[in-house]
Amino acid sequence: MSFDALSLAAVRDELEPLLTGARMQKLVFVDELSLAVEFFAPSVGRTAVLLSAHLEHGRVQRIGQLPARGVERDTPFSLLVRKHLRNARVISVSQPRLERVFELQCEQRDPPDRPYRVLLIVEAMGRRSNLVLVDADRTILDAARRAPPSRNARRPVLPHLPYAPPPPQHRLLPEALTPEALEEGPPAPLARRISDRVAGVSPVTAREIAFRATRSLDSVVGVSNLDQVVSLVRDFVSTNGWAPTVAYDDSGPLEYAPYELTHLEASGARLERFGSISDAMTAFYAAEPRRKGDPLAAERRALLPALERAIQSVSRRIAALEHQLTTSSSERDALRAAGDLILMHQSGIATGATEFEAIELDPLLTAVENAQAYFARYRKTREAEQRVPPLIEEARRSLEYLSELRTMVEVADQMDAVRALRREVAAATGTSRRKTERPSRSTPYRRIALDGYEALVGTSAEGNATVTFDLARPEDLWLHARGVPGAHVVLRGSPPSEVVERAAEVAASHSAARTSGAVEVDVTQRRYVKKIPGGPPGLVRYANERTLRVSPRTL
C-alpha cells in the first residue's frame, strides 16, 4: 500500500474546493494520532475528513461520516486542537511540492473577537508521521508526538520552538531529471533507478512508470527509451487527470493509487476504478486490515498488552531521567553560586533570615549550614550528570528491545514464532508463562528461497541473534529496515542485485514500517554487524552499509 506524495496531491485536489471557506464544526480524535473533522460550507454542505498521523496507516482522505471517539482521555494536544480549531474557518489547503505533508490554514477568533490564524500540519510520513499545530509565525503550539532535542537534535518538535519542515529529499526534482542521470551508478532495475533518483516518486509509481515505458515487469535501463521514461516521470508528477484504482488478487487488495495500476493488472491482478482517490482508499482500508481465518490473531493479541505496558513504563522512565538531567544541568552552577554567596556574606545574614539576595534560606540553620546545604545539593546535581546518562542509555536499549519484540509479535505468522515470542515477552515484561506449555525445540527463524539463494529471517529477538551471530558467515549480506524495529535478514552467497532487492523487500515486510509505501533497508556484510555489549538479544550496531529503498512485499 502506498500513501505517497502523488496520492496526497490527488487528495488535495479533491478537498481544496470542498474545504476552502468551510468551518470546522466537529472534531473527533479517533486515536491519539488521528483526527476526524466535519467541515461545513453553505455551497457544499458537510464534508468529513480523516487527518491521520498513524505510523502505519497515516493519510488524509474524505470519509463518509465521522467515526466514534477512540480515546478515553483528552491529551494536552487534543485540548489545544479543540480550542483553536473548533468553529475555525479554513483559509487554504496546501501541500509542499512532492511531500507527504498536508497543511490546513485556518482563521479563528479569540475571546475579544479578534481574528488570528493557526495552521494544522499533517505529516503522513510513516514512522515519522505527526500532527503539528503552529501559529501564524509558524511557532509550534503543540504536536501529537513531541520530540525533544535529546531524541531529535536536528528537528526537535516542542511547544514554543519554531516549526522546521521535514528535511528535503536528496533526489532530483522531475524537471531536473535527464536520461544521463538514470544511467549513472551501478546496474539496477529501471524502477529502482527511478524511485532512488526522483523526488516524490514511490517504488509503486516507479514500477508503473517503468512498465509503461518498456511494457515489461522486469525492465532494465535501455538507451533507446530513456527519453520516454523521463517524459513519463514528468507527466506523472504534474498531472491533475487522476484515475484512482485499487488492485486486488484472490487474497484481497494489493495497492491503491491515483492512477491505473497497469503493471499489477499485467501480472494478473484485478483493477477496480473509482471516482475519487478517497473512495479508492476507503475501499482499500475497509478490506486491508482484516485477516480472514487468521488462526494466530488471538495469540498475537494476548502478547501485546504486556508489551505495551512495559513500553509505556520505560518511556516514562526515560522522560523522567531526561528531565532530571536537564534540571541538574540548569541548577548546578546556580546552587554552587548560592553557597559561595552565602559564605561570602555570612556575617551580614541575620539569624533566622528566610532570604538573602533572592536566595531562599532555612531560618532554622546558620548561614554556614545554609551554604553547606546548597553545596550538598550542588554535589548531588553534579553526581546526577555522571550517573543519569548511563541509566538513560540503558533505558533506551530496553525500549528498543521491547519495540523490537512488539514488531516481531505483530508480524508473527507461524506458531513456532509465537511460542518463542511468548518466552521472550514473559522474560522482558516479568509476566508468567503458561504452565502447561513445553519448551519449544523449533528454530526461531525462517528459511526463504529467493531465486536459488537462501535468506534467513529472524522471527523473534533470539531468532535475530541466531541468524546474525550463529548462522551467518562474515561475507554473507545482512539486511534490516533502517531506523525501525524489525527482523534481521541474512542473505547467503553472492547474489545479484535483483535478489538483494527481493531480500530487502522481505526485511521491509517484517518491520514496523511494513505498511509504508516505501521503506529504506540497510544492507551490509555480516562482518560489520556487532553486538551491543551488555545489550538485550538481537540489538546490534553496524557500519559500512548501503541503503535500498523498496516497497514491503511478503514472499
How confident is the model over 120-142, as pLDDT tens digits?
A: 999 998 878 999 999 999 999 99
Could you tell me the pLDDT band of residue 352, with boundaries at 50, 70 and 90? confident
10 Å CB burial of residue 304 (0-12, 13-18, 19+) is middle
Q: What mean pLDDT is predicted for residues 216-228?
A: 67
Q: Which residue has the higher pLDDT, 444 or 53?
A: 53
Q: Is the pLDDT of residue 555 over 60?
A: no
Residue 21's pLDDT is what?
A: 96
- Can you read off the three cell numbers belonging to residue 106? 485556518
Residue 217's pLDDT is what?
A: 67
Q: Which residue has the higher pLDDT, 43 or 437?
A: 43
- The predicted-structure confidence for 454-476, as pLDDT tens digits, reads as follows 999 999 999 999 999 999 999 99
- The angle subtended at Cα 43 by Cα 39 and Cα 46, nearest 5°, is 25
d(CA 303, CA 301): 5
Residue 442's pLDDT is what?
A: 57
Residue 436's pLDDT is what?
A: 44
| The 3-state secondary structure of 248-298, one letter per residue | EECCEEEEEECCCCHHHHHCCCEEEECCCHHHHHHHHHHHCCCCCCCCCHH
d(CA 64, CA 46): 10
**Assigned architecture for domain 5-143:** Roll (2.30)
Under DSSP, the state recorded for 469 is I
Could you tell me the pLDDT band of residue 218, with boundaries at 50, 70 and 90? low
- Give the rounded distance of the alpha carbon of 509 from its chain centre: 15
- Beta-carbon contacts of 247 under 8 Å, excluding residues fewer than 6 positions away, are 253, 254, 255, 256, 261, 264, 265, 269, 270, 271
d(CA 126, CA 56): 6
d(CA 156, CA 316): 19
- Can you read off the three cell numbers belonging to residue 284? 482499500
d(CA 543, CA 540): 10
How many Cα atoms occupy the beta-carbon half-sphere of 482 within 13 Å? Answer: 16
Q: Which residue has the higher pLDDT, 183 or 150?
A: 183
User: What are the distances in angstroms from CA 228 to CA 212, 257, 260, 371?
Assistant: 9, 21, 18, 79
d(CA 24, CA 490): 51
Could you tell me the pLDDT band of residue 526, with boundaries at 50, 70 and 90? very high
Residue 295's pLDDT is what?
A: 66
Percent share of the chain, pLDDT over 90:
42
